[in-house]
Amino acid sequence: MGLNRDKSLFYHSVANMIDAGASTVTSMRQSFPRRFKTVATRLYESLDAGHNLSSSMAEQDIFTHFECMLVSVGEHSGMLPQVLKSLAEWFDNKNRTEKNIIMGLIYPLLVYYIAGPLLCIIEVVSNKMDHVGYSLLRLVLWWLLPPLLYFLWRLLSPVLRRNAIMGAIIDKLPFFGNLQFNLETSYFMSALGMCLNSGMGMYNAMKLACGVCINEMYRDHYALVSLHVNERGCHLSEAISQQMTTRERESDILQLITLGEETGTLPEQCARLAKQYQEEYRHKIELFSKCLPVFFYLLIALFLAFKIISIFSSYIGLLNSL
């Protein structure tokens, strides 16, 4: 959560400096929040040596592939300040969403950690103080489970989000598949619109925009579309219609792309699609952040009820057998 906030402040500061007329090199000499002080110094040294911002960012572990590729789009399209501002807004929204999820999970987690000792006491008493060590070990594992799951999520989620097989699996899920589609489509359309708006050719624009997609499945899909545009010399709408996925058929992407080509407003239509799917993604994330604590609380409550009933059932059965 702190990293998202710091990234938002970093991108916002650099965008404002460039908008004010400062060079990219000069913009790295200002004061940045916490961990970005060292990062900004390294970026300054790389920029001062003649490298561009996207390649300099790629050398720093703190920036993702998505960020580097989107900045590269901004550099090629001449819209770097706009790209940096969109990244600042993206990480600000991400920070607020994660904060809402954490705040919503505080009470269920409090119930979870209090329930552990209570279950331990009930098990020990019901077993007449037998197996105390085993019950204490289960209590420790009970307490360690949430941080362990969080650590595994932080470790594996970046890899899983990029994997094409995982992307195909997620795509089959009703809610999360739609969430992934909204996110990847908004990324691609935003980058494509900026590239086309700068006067870049369709093939080069699509080739650059493909790299913005996080999941390899979507990256490969749009790369195939761009290949059709290049090899067959067809319009984007025709290439999309030949390679449409199920979710694209259910959307208005083809209609708006066709409209953009017919009216000469393709960059504007791409930007409109990007904004539309970004709003849909944000709405779904807000819904998820509200539902997740409720689901988590009910899951804990059901588990506790099951454990208490099973413990007392065995205890009552023992009494009846006497």
| Residue 91, domain member (yes or no) | no
Q: Is 24 in the same domain as 119?
A: no
Q: Is 53 in the same domain as 200?
A: no
| Residue 77, domain member (yes or no) | no
pLDDT in tens, 249-292: 999 999 999 999 999 999 999 989 998 998 898 888 888 878 87
Q: Is 33 in the same domain as 115?
A: no
Domain count, the chain: 2
Domain stop point among 47, 63, 79:
63
Q: Is the pTM of this model over 0.85?
A: no
Structural domain that includes position 125: 105-322
In contact, 188 and 218? CB cutoff 8 Å: yes
CB atoms within 10 A of CB 237: 19
| Residue 74, domain member (yes or no) | no
When comparing pLDDT for 315 and 237, which is higher?
237
pLDDT in tens, 74-90: 888 888 898 898 888 88
| Residue 135, domain member (yes or no) | yes
Q: Is 12 in the same domain as 156?
A: no
d(CA 28, CA 8): 15
- Phi/psi of residue 23, nearest 5 degrees: -75, 165
Q: Is 47 in the same domain as 165?
A: no
Q: Is 304 in the same domain as 234?
A: yes
| Residue 130, domain member (yes or no) | yes
| Residue 318, domain member (yes or no) | yes
Q: Residue holding tokens 């990234």? A: 7
| Residue 55, domain member (yes or no) | yes
CB atoms within 10 A of CB 80: 23
